[in-house]
């Protein structure tokens, strides 16, 4: 073979290799392109699910007669899991479902805002009147104290475990005083107000007798509202001759039965099976989409960072 022929053969082989390499690279690029397109598509689907949760994910899909359950979990406060709006949405959906043989409010809460508790109580009473054929029961998990019990009193009957904690029918407002600490550190408090009582409950100023008396009057008023609601809901089942019943003390579920705070000892499954007669349970608790949960968590964190150490509003807590 001549040198010219060898040179031509080498050139053809080089061109073949270059074409083959280009084709391989093109296929590789196409595969990566498909991969990234699928990744982007999955990301967009996830974002859409977070922003607008589909109805088929948010609503119960069971059919037929059932016992509806709504969970009230944690501190009763605006923006929390036990927010009045959230609980009421769940209760409303449960009552509106024609297959709900009864509605159970499952409570595990130490209490919280008297306003939020009162809103839920009133709505429970309204729904009960609107749907007279659908019983409403409260079932206590670990704790149903203070504002939690305020709400439970609106139910037709209250059930609890023998070791559950119930009661704490009282109101509190607490904080700290740093007056002496500031003196020992040589710190001077500089505060300007318009209104002689605008610095009410300021932890860096001494308490004034007239302000403390005003707060006591406020707490007693809210306490009486609490007592009236419990009496309205529980009626003659309460052991009213017990002077400690409305003192803020807590009791076990077993002792709560004796005092008329609880009707019987039972859990959710037992109430559904033995009281309602519909063992199948459907949970109607309102749930947030992932994006809302994330933003709420960020908001709660920021609120905790900037909040003061004082509780400046009455609380229905143990």
| pLDDT value for 288 | 63
Residue 298, CB-side half-sphere exposure with 13 Å CA sphere: 5
What is the separation of C-alpha 145 from the centre of its chain, rounded to a whole number of angstroms?
A: 16
- What angle separates helix 290-306 from helix 3-51, to the nearest 10 degrees? 70
Q: Provide the 3-class DSSP secondary structure of residue 199.
A: coil
| pLDDT value for 190 | 83
Residue 49 phi, psi (nearest 5): -65, -35
Residue 252 phi, psi (nearest 5): -75, 165
| pLDDT value for 235 | 93
Cα separation, 315 vs 78, whole angstroms: 13
| pLDDT value for 55 | 45
Contact between residue 318 and residue 145 where contact means Cβ atoms under 8 Å apart: yes
- Enumerate residue ranges in the chain where pLDDT < 70: 1-11, 14-15, 18-19, 22-23, 25, 27-29, 31-33, 35-39, 41-63, 288-318
Cα separation, 271 vs 105, whole angstroms: 11
| pLDDT value for 303 | 42
Cβ neighbours for 313, distance < 8 A, ≥ 6 positions apart = 113, 173
Contact between residue 99 and residue 66 where contact means Cβ atoms under 8 Å apart: yes
Which ranges of the chain does DSSP label H, i.e. alpha helix? 3-51, 55-58, 84-96, 114-130, 147-152, 179-185, 209-234, 253-259, 268-270, 290-306
Could you please state the CATH topology (level 3) that the domain comprising 62-171+223-306 is classified under. Answer: 2-enoyl-CoA Hydratase; Chain A, domain 1 (3.90.226)
Tokens for 34? Answer: 């498909």
Q: Where are the domains of the chain?
A: 62-171+223-306
Contact between residue 139 and residue 273 where contact means Cβ atoms under 8 Å apart: no
């Amino acid at each position: 073979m001549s040198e010219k022929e060898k040179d031509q053969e080498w050139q053809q082989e080089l061109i073949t290799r270059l074409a083959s390499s280009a084709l391989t690279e093109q296929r590789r690029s196409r595969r990566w392109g498909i991969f990234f397109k699928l990744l982007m598509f999955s990301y967009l689907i996830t974002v859409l699910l977070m922003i607008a949760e589909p109805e088929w994910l948010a609503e119960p899909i069971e059919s037929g007669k059932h016992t509806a359950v709504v969970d009230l979990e944690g501190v009763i406060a605006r923006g929390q899991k036990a927010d009045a709006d959230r609980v009421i949405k769940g209760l409303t959906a449960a009552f509106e479902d024609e297959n709900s043989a009864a509605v159970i409010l499952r409570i595990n809460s130490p209490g919280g805002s008297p306003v939020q508790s009162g809103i839920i109580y009133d709505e429970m009473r309204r729904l009960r009147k609107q749907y007279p054929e659908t019983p409403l029961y409260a079932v206590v998990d670990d704790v149903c104290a203070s504002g939690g019990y305020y709400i439970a009193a609106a139910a037709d009957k209250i059930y609890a475990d023998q070791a559950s904690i119930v009661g704490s029918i009282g109101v509190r407002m607490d904080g700290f005083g740093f007056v002496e600490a500031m003196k020992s550190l040589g710190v001077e408090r500089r505060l300007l107000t318009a209104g002689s009582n605008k610095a009410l409950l300021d932890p860096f100023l001494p308490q004034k007798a007239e302000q403390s008396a005003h707060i006591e009057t406020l707490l007693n008023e809210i306490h009486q509202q609490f007592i009236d609601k419990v009496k309205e809901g529980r009626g003659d089942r309460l052991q009213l001759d017990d002077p400690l019943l409305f003192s803020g003390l807590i009791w076990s579920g077993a002792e709560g039965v004796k005092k008329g705070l609880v009707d019987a000892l039972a859990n959710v499954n037992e109430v559904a099976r033995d009281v309602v007669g519909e063992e199948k349970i459907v949970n109607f608790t309102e749930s947030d989409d992932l994006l809302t949960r994330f933003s709420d968590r960020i908001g709660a964190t920021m609120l905790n960072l900037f909040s003061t150490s004082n509780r400046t509003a009455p609380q229905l807590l143990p």
